[in-house]
Amino acid sequence: MSLTIKDVKAALQRLVDPGTGKDLVSSGAASDVTVDGDKVRVVLEVDPDRGAAMQPMADAAKAAIEALPGVNAASVILTAHSGPGQAAPAEPRPPAPNLRGGGAGGDTPLRKPPTKEGPIEGVDRIVAIGSGKGGVGKSTVSANLAVALAQEGRRVGLLDADVYGPSQPRMLGLSGRPSSPDGQTILPLRNHGVTVMSIGLLTPDDKAVIWRGPMLMGALQQMLRQVAWGRLDALLVDLPPGTGDVQLTLSQKAEVSGAIIVSTPQDVALLDAKKAVDMFQKTETPILGMIENMSTFCCPKCGHETQLFGHGGAKAEAARIGAPFLGEIPLDIDVRLAGDGGAPIVASKPDSPQAQRFRDIARSLIAAGHA
């Protein structure tokens, strides 16, 4: 008889939280239970003020699940949220629109960042890779850039911070689940010379992650600080689209060395890239440079080069903000096929012209002391 979510919840119902007097299921704490064959993952939502005090309960939940017949591995993630009847932390009131032009409070700074939690042990630099917009190939750039840095002799980690749409496990050819010998620290996976952590390694490929903002931010901080990254020259963080919770949490909680902005030359993409630049500037994160992806398309049959999305937009934007322009990446089917196949073009065809573009960018980052 195969293991079911009902079996897991039955085990959790035997554990009573002394703070509420209710079991973990009826109290709503066990908000997300996933069973994937012989592997179980549970998310426990708790009051932020009781986070540390709930760790023994999380350990007890893990032990109870592991005791079930058919369970080979169990993961219990503790994350904070506002409890029933408890007001969520107040957010600053958005600035009033400037009806005379100039945007809605464009010069209004973000609220004062909370105290950063210090550097991650063993990690020399954290480099955020953002775009402000989805569909511009940011994850492809991140994967190839990480492999290119590794080929240049750098010790590189890659954190896939896109919790809702993780893609790095597929692009880097990773399978299996990270282990946790002590139930506290996660051992990341490694391939192509890159140490990798992604929520995609903990959840089934066909299952959606349906988490509220506080859960998402808690997961990000756990992947940053409860992963045994080892000694790294640079930890690249592949950010999700937008300028929301993940970006702010990373910028405000971690000591980010700088950010790289990826955009296509298209005006629509550049509009959102500018917003990403603005967000990093307001959180006092240096812009290390811009990359123009899908810059040109060269027909594999006739060799004719076409600028499908325009050309030079990212370079012009880098000049406007006074940031380095790191390079152009062409739209190429081999780059796409390599990523889908789990071996980025820099790993599968390191001497190809396409791979050379990424290696040139990696070398420029190393020369500037950014990686």
Triad 203, 209, 212: Cα angle to 5°: 140
CATH 3.40.50.300 residue spans of the chain: 126-367
Whole-number mean pLDDT of the chain? 82
Helix (H) or strand (E) holding 327: strand 325-331
Stronger pLDDT, 18 or 285, i.e. the higher one: 285
Stronger pLDDT, 22 or 311, i.e. the higher one: 22
Q: Which long-range contacts (CB under 8 A, 24 or more apart) does 59-65 make?
A: 59/183, 60/15, 61/12, 61/15, 61/24, 61/30, 62/183, 64/11, 64/12, 64/14, 64/15, 65/8, 65/11, 65/12, 65/40
Stronger pLDDT, 46 or 150, i.e. the higher one: 150
pLDDT band at 48; cut points 50, 70, 90 = low
Position 81 scores a pLDDT of 44
- What six digits make up the tokens of 105? 């409070």
Looking at CATH, the fold of the domain delimited by 126-367 is given as Rossmann fold (3.40.50)
Residue 101 has pLDDT above 70, yes or no: no
Q: How do residues 296-332 score in pLDDT, each as one tens digit?
A: 777 777 766 776 766 777 888 888 889 999 999 998 8
- What six digits make up the tokens of 355? 């791979």
CA distance 140 to 142: 5
Q: How do residues 177-211 score in pLDDT, each as one tens digit?
A: 888 888 788 899 999 999 999 988 887 777 777 67
Q: Which residues contact 225 (CB under 8 A, 6 or more apart)?
A: 117, 120
Position 314 scores a pLDDT of 84
Position 98 scores a pLDDT of 37
Residue 128 has pLDDT above 80, yes or no: yes
Q: Which long-range contacts (CB under 8 A, 24 or more apart) does 16-20 make?
A: 17/54, 17/57, 19/47, 19/50, 19/53, 19/54
Q: How do residues 209-233 score in pLDDT, each as one tens digit?
A: 767 667 777 888 888 889 999 999 9
Are 287 and 321 within 8 A, CB to CB?
A: yes
Position 252 scores a pLDDT of 78
Position 123 scores a pLDDT of 95
Looking at CATH, the fold of the domain delimited by 5-80 is given as GMP Synthetase; Chain A, domain 3 (3.30.300)
CATH 3.30.300.130 residue spans of the chain: 5-80
